[in-house]
């Protein structure tokens, strides 16, 4: 039976993550929002601390949830609260502090989660302790990952990569970039593979860093890939093209990273709600949970609805993580969590700005910044529309060809 209370063994981790968010991340949040593309040097000293917080939770980084594949062997041992739950809980706390700061922490990239999900033991050992970004999106390929055009051709002991990648989170600061590419475009989804490219590899060129609406503390890179030779040992997963399993193996990454992004949204949503609650209190508006909403002030009724949406998003996220820890397929639940948490975060952040009036619209409060940070959480790792499409396919039993 699933129990979504914080496991006792993880309470010290949650407390430590919250202290980090409160004492380190939030105080410098506005500073690096204004100084876009400046590296948050204060986070360098935090890297070792975060590694310690996650000791034993991941082989390659704090956000490296291990996923269904590596936890399935423990499914017969009963309920298990493992790396996925602990990682989601710590992310919720850290993003209560600042989402961009989490994404800027050394060795905490989403590429680390991709490696942890599908890498073999030798790769896990080789890439341990290194910061990995993930490059999927292309100028002509956003939510439809199967439309990837970046190519990979085997040439002796190397794959030769050619293509273009945009919106690579932490791409400039990371040590490694997990690049999605196709072995044969004519074979469609089945030929999509992921390759670990080390920074400094000839042919892997940084074009620019993007100026963004939110998460400005985090760098977002654009790369050109021209005849970039990558050792064949850096391919993640099975090198064979199997129409039934290849793309599914790559997509397993999303089953593990989408709950992480949902956790980011949950953390930011809670920050907005707590700030709004304090503003309401300062205005003399108290929530009376014993009275129906229609008999309370409109702002209070909106606040209670936001709390309900927050709780639904939090529980869906923990459910998806718990299923991964217990070896249960969680593609549907991961998309449910991502869709609900992403949309809730945007709606709550904007509603808080609205209710707070001038306080929410100016830099007097962090609500203004959070409303900008929120939107990306409904976009990356699969947009709201894509999540709803995946959910519909799962519920109706339709393939991607049958339901587009």
| Nearest residue to 233 via CA among 150, 316, 123, 115 | 123
Q: What is the distance between the alpha carbons of residues 362 and 353, in angstroms, rounded to a whole number?
A: 9
Just list the catalytic residues.
381
Tokens, residue 368: 């203004």
Per the CB < 8 A criterion, the answer to whether 177 and 161 are in contact is no
Q: Which residue has the tokens 């609260």?
A: 81
Task: Compute the distance between CA of residue 66 and CA of residue 71 in angstroms, rounded to an integer.
Answer: 7
Round to whole Å and give the CA distance between 113 and 253.
7
Beta strands in 170-301 (DSSP E): 176-182, 192-198, 204-209, 220-231, 235-236
Considering only CA atoms, give the Rg of the chain: 21
Question: What per-residue string of b and e applies to 329-351 under the rule 16 or more CB within 10 Å gives b?
Answer: ebbbbbbbbbbbbbbbbbbbbbb
**What is the Cα–Cα distance from 225 to 205, expressed in whole angstroms?**
6
- Answer left, alpha or beta for residue 78, where phi above 0 means left and psi between -120 and 50 means alpha: left
Q: Which two tokens stand for residue 39?
A: 């590296």
Distance (Å, whole) CA 308 – CA 36: 34
């Amino acid at each position: 039976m699933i129990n979504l209370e914080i496991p006792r063994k993880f309470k010290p981790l949650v407390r430590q993550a919250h202290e980090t968010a409160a004492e380190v991340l939030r105080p410098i949040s506005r500073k690096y929002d204004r100084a876009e593309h400046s590296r948050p040097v204060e986070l360098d000293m935090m890297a070792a601390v975060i590694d310690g917080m996650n000791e034993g939770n991941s082989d390659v980084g704090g956000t490296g949830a291990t996923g269904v594949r590596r936890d399935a062997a423990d499914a017969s041992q009963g309920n298990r609260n493992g790396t996925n739950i602990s990682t989601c809980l710590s992310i919720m706390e850290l993003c209560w502090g600042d989402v961009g700061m989490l994404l800027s922490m050394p060795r905490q990239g989403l590429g680390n989660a991709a490696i942890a999900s599908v890498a073999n033991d030798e790769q896990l050992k080789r890439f341990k302790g290194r910061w990995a970004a993930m490059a999927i999106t292309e100028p002509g390929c956003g939510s439809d990952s199967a439309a990837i055009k970046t190519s990979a051709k085997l040439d002796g002991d190397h794959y030769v990569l050619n293509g273009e990648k945009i919106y690579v989170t932490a791409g400039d600061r990371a040590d490694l970039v997990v690049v999605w590419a196709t072995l044969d475009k004519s074979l469609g989804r089945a030929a999509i593979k992921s390759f670990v490219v080390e920074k400094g590899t000839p042919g892997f060129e940084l074009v620019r860093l993007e100026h963004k609406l939110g998460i400005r503390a985090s760098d977002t890179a654009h790369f050109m890939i021209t005849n970039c030779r990558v050792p064949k040992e850096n391919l993640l997963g099975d090198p064979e093209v199997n129409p039934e399993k290849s793309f599914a193996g790559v997509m397993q990454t999303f089953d593990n990273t989408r709950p992480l992004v949902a956790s980011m949204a949950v953390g930011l949503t809670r920050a907005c709600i707590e700030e709004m609650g304090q503003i309401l209190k300062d205005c003399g508006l108290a929530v009376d949970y014993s009275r129906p909403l229609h008999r309370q002030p409109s702002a209070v009724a909106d606040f209670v609805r936001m709390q309900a949406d927050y709780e639904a998003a939090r529980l869906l996220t923990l459910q998806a993580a718990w299923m991964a820890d217990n070896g249960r397929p969680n593609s549907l639940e991961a998309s449910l969590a991502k869709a609900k948490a992403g949309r809730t975060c945007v709606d709550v952040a904007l509603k808080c700005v609205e209710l707070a009036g001038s306080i929410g619209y100016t830099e007097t409060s962090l609500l203004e910044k959070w409303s900008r940070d929120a939107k990306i959480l409904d976009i990356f790792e699969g947009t709201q529309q894509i999540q709803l499409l995946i959910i519909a396919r799962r519920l109706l039993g339709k393939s991607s060809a049958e339901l587009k």
